[in-house]
Amino acid sequence: MPVQNAEIAAMFDQTADLLEIEGANQFRVRAYRRAARTIDGLPEAVTAMLEAGENLADLPGIGEDLAHKIADIVGSGRFALLDKLKAELPGELDALATLPGLGPKRVKILYDLLGVRSLDDLRRAVAAGHVHELPGFGDITERKLGEALGRPVGPRRFKLAVAEAEAQALTGYLGESGGRVAVAGSYRRRRDTIGDLDILASSAQAATAGDRLAAYENTAEILAHGPTRTTVVLRSGIQVDLRAVPEESYGAALLYFTGSKPHNIALRAIAARHGWKLNEYGLFAGERRIAGTTEEEIYDRLGLAYIPPEMREDRGEIALAQAGRLPRLIALADMRGDLHVHSDWTDGTATIADMAAAARACGHRYMALTDHSRRVAMAHGLDPDRVARQGAEIDALNAGLKGFTILKGIEVDILKDGTLDLPDTTLARLDIVVAAIHSFFDLPRDAQTARMLRAMENPHVSIIAHPTGRLLGERAPYAIDMDRVTSAARDLGCALEINAQPDRLDLNDAHAHMARSKGVKLAISTDAHSVNAFQYMRFGIDQARRAWLGPDDVLNTRPLAGLRALLGRRAARAA
């Protein structure tokens, strides 16, 4: 079975970390990081691209040398340079680089000045109070490191996109033996992170599915193997539980292993009120199975409308299903455009024209070009003069387009005091302004909230991007009062973003649901930095469905005229 894109990206990221710790040339370090982002953002597997004869060297940031390295990884499952660096560098320096507040540069300082080679070395240095004395550290960093090192290590969770790649490869492989194969659990509910994969197989040869899983090339460890259940750990670290299910119980098993525990308890309580019993084998009246082949027939016998998997969290969906008032959830086909897109004017990898062509290929009718403002210096952010020059290029491109429009926009930085990185005179000339926080993530909750509210009060701001700043598994959300933020968004007519990047998925489902309940409009946007990243939209749709959003709750389900009308009402406040 193929090496997954996420595995290759992780190898390149780890290589970049170790090269940086070693003091390698920064251009070389950045090349591996850029390649990791490119591979991670591809809409199809690298192995499939190689099999189709595609030249990986044509991808942004790859080139011939890295293309050969990727092909070697696909062929062997290993990266020789990474193995060499791990052998040369002492201890657990690569593990240290993943701790919050560290990173390769600080790990190098710890190693050079304190001789820190392992997590235990770092614990001793923090306990002795030596870390805050180092250049670029300080008391706050030392305290946060102490907290991170003292925190118990919980079960590992995987981003939805990583789990999806594994799940799709697995179901294709297992399905070759015939019958039905489905992934249940939190994966089917489309949670932003996944603990493990629960797979159900139903066929005349269901027992052989376990044999196939045990023999799967990506299986690293077999934890259990029996006639009806097999548990393995994949090379990626994801645990897979496969259950062979009789056809007559398939729907009941899918229902049981998909729903959250509270949702399932509530369903069993409804069954009990009828004198029935509901479990993973079916819905029973005494010993007689009265439903179980499909989920739909079970919900119907319980007097409920079919509840989409994303809603099965016991947050009120059962009462709505009883009353026949479940919302029509948004779908990918409802989207008309993308309102957060970057180009090679800043830190994107493609021209504006190429990004527009990629957006159009996804079926979009418009795209907002929202490159960074000048405060984000590492991304070569735009000053007012470059904003104007970019606008002229967009005008020229739009003149040659039919049935598609590029909107002039900016991702303007929200400064520490809540003011914006560009003057109002520049923002007023744009079609859309996306505002975002990219610095000072550690402000106290009241200060961070006040900062956000001040930015939202600027009438030129159309949308707040990735409103809590989280990076899944890497950076916790900054402290902010989302109740106040969503209320202010409603009162000011400012939209909030669901950022579809698999690393972000920000807003989370609970905050997006809170916004919806207050009547706040949301934008689902990809934050695309490459032509392939428009494919991320589906992850934003997943998040929106978990938040019960329908098409009318989302700005960019509207045709361009409708979108302009909504943006115009917000802009009218500036007049």
Could you report the per-residue pLDDT of 547-566, keeping only the tens digit for each?
999 999 999 999 999 999 99
The CATH topology of domain 332-574 is TIM Barrel (3.20.20)
Q: Which of 76-85, 225-234, 461-470 has the lowest mean pLDDT?
A: 76-85
Q: Does domain 158-245 have CATH number 3.30.460.10?
A: yes
| pTM (two decimals) | 0.86
Residue 271 banded pLDDT, cuts 50, 70, 90: very high
- How many angstroms separate the Cα of 27 from the Cα of each of 16, 105, 233? 10, 15, 36
pLDDT tens digit string along 85-130?
Answer: 888 776 667 777 777 677 778 888 888 888 888 888 888 888 888 8
- With 90 as the cut, is the pLDDT of residue 137 above it? no
The rounded percent of the chain whose pLDDT value lies above 70 is 96
pLDDT tens digit string along 453-497?
Answer: 999 999 999 999 999 999 988 788 999 999 999 999 999 999 999
Which residue stretches of 409-475 are H helix? Answer: 424-427, 445-457
Tokens representing 151 are 């925190």
Which residue stretches of 307-361 are H helix? Answer: 317-323, 352-361
Of 258, 197, 159, 170, residue with least CA distance to 536: 159
* The predicted structure's pLDDT at residue 340: 98
SS3 call for 326: coil
pLDDT tens digit string along 357-388?
Answer: 999 999 999 999 999 999 877 778 999 999 99
195 Cβ partners below 8 Å, 6+ apart?
Answer: 155, 156, 157, 158, 186, 239
Are 543 and 509 in contact by the 8 Å Cβ rule? The answer is: yes
Instruction: Report how far residue 122's alpha carbon sits from residue 132's, in angstroms, rounded to the nearest whole number.
Output: 12
Q: Would the CA dihedral through 244, 173, 6, 60 be positive or negative?
A: negative
Residue 267 banded pLDDT, cuts 50, 70, 90: very high
Tokens representing 205 are 């040869």
Which amino acid makes up residue 423? P
Mean pLDDT of all residues in 288-295: 95
Query: What one-character-per-residue DSSP string does 394-410 give?
Result: HHHHHHT-SS-EEEEEE
Question: 250-258 and 261-273 are packed helices; what angle lies between their axes, rounded to 10 degrees?
Answer: 130
Are 473 and 157 in contact by the 8 Å Cβ rule? The answer is: yes
- CATH number for the domain formed by residue range(s) 256-323: 3.30.210.10
Domain range summary for the chain, segments of one domain joined by +: 5-150, 158-245, 256-323, 332-574
Instruction: Report how far residue 132's alpha carbon sits from residue 277's, in angstroms, rounded to the nearest whole number.
Output: 60
pLDDT tens digit string along 51-70?
Answer: 888 888 888 778 888 999 99
- CATH architecture for residues 5-150: Orthogonal Bundle (1.10)
Helix (H) or strand (E) holding 289: strand 288-291
